[in-house]
Amino acid sequence: MKLGFIGLGGMGEPMARNLLKAGHALKVYNRTRSRAEGLVSQGAIVAETPVAACSFGIVATMLADDPAVEAVVFGDEGILEGLAGGGVHISHGTLSVGLSRRLAEAHKLRGQHFLTAPVFGRPEAAQAARLLVIAAGAAEAIDRCRPALEAIGRKLVVIGSDPPAANTFKLAGNFLIASMIESLGESFALLRKSGVDPATFLEVMAGTFFQSPIYENYGKIIAGQRYQPAGFKLRLGLKDVRLILAAAEDAAAPMPIASLIRDNLLSGIAQGMQDLDWSAVARVAALKAGLES
């Protein structure tokens, strides 16, 4: 199939590469043009504007936050202007539920389709086309885009026809991951203060009661204190937790643990950790315990 792809950062660039490897034709746009030009050798066409990336009638976005999406969709020469009637906008990023609802309404008024398809996985999973893709939107639009959605991941899960549902799903999933990271950080701080090796603890726990790639992968990062290079920066983790809390407030669903994690992420940023991996929130627990890091 033919589609546009906007946003070629640490996640978007490998996703676009996998679409090209799967034989799809791509027009790519990125604010920093050199990132788009890096895909030309694989067959991509560089689009000069977001509008130009919409010429195939389907365009995917993988952008860092709500303001970036708003600029690309609603701004001059944006997606709303560029997509023809019946066109499809696929949003892969982690958006607020409120913006997702606004986008769905705006595209509907233009006779366009809006699909949300946020992904679970770090950059290495994106590179290996091993992302978990959670999609929501009109069934006919999902069927039309299914080849592209399946090309970027190991599994596609369709959860319904209402686009914001997939964003709520992603935020709830990110909350669980953040909670695991916070718990690992607190546990490891206790162990280190008590003279117990966190790596041994992780090996036992991850091999028995907590058999999960989240515990294993993040546990190794925290036990080894390897917070660079960042697969997902701490400042973006704070952005996601704020979105979680906003969704919780809108739904009148208190999430006190999310509030605690937000405060610890803020503490990390106050101590200059904003560009470390978001698992560096474990360093905050260590510092509170009187450990150097």
In angstroms, the CA 160 to CA 222 distance is 36
pLDDT digits (tens, 9 = 90+) for 247-282: 999 999 999 999 999 999 999 999 999 999 999 999
Examine the pLDDT at 293 and tell me if it is beyond 80.
no
Q: For all residues of the chain together, what is the average pLDDT? A: 97
User: What is the number of residues in the chain?
Assistant: 293
Say what the pTM is. 0.95
pLDDT digits (tens, 9 = 90+) for 22-50: 999 999 999 999 999 999 999 999 999 99
Q: Which CATH number fits domain 2-161: 3.30.310.50, 1.10.1040.10, 3.60.70.12, 3.40.50.720?
A: 3.40.50.720
In 3D space, the residue among 231, 197, 236 whose CA is nearest the CA of residue 217 turns out to be 231
In 3D space, the residue among 150, 132, 205 whose CA is nearest the CA of residue 24 turns out to be 150
Class in CATH terms, 168-288:
mainly alpha
The first and second tokens of residue 191, run together, are 């162990």
Q: What is the pLDDT of residue 292?
A: 80
**Start-end of H helices in 233-274:** 234-250, 256-270
In 3D space, the residue among 30, 21, 26 whose CA is nearest the CA of residue 56 turns out to be 26
Domain ranges (residues) in the chain:
2-161, 168-288
Q: What is the pLDDT of residue 99?
A: 98
pLDDT digits (tens, 9 = 90+) for 162-208: 999 999 999 999 999 999 999 999 999 999 999 999 999 999 999 99
Domains 2-161 and 168-288 share a fold: no
Share of the chain above pLDDT 90, in %: 98
Task: List C-alpha distances in Å: 5 to 28, 91, 100, 288.
Answer: 5, 10, 18, 43
Residue pointed to by tokens 């028995």: 208
134 near 120, Cβ under 8 Å? Answer: yes
Query: Helix, strand or coil for residue 278?
Result: helix
Count of C-beta atoms within a 10 Å radius of residue 12: 23
In angstroms, the CA 291 to CA 220 distance is 18
Q: Which pLDDT band holds residue 115 (cuts at 50, 70, 90)?
A: very high
Q: What is the pLDDT of residue 121?
A: 95
Catalytic residues: 170
In 3D space, the residue among 136, 138, 131 whose CA is nearest the CA of residue 155 turns out to be 131
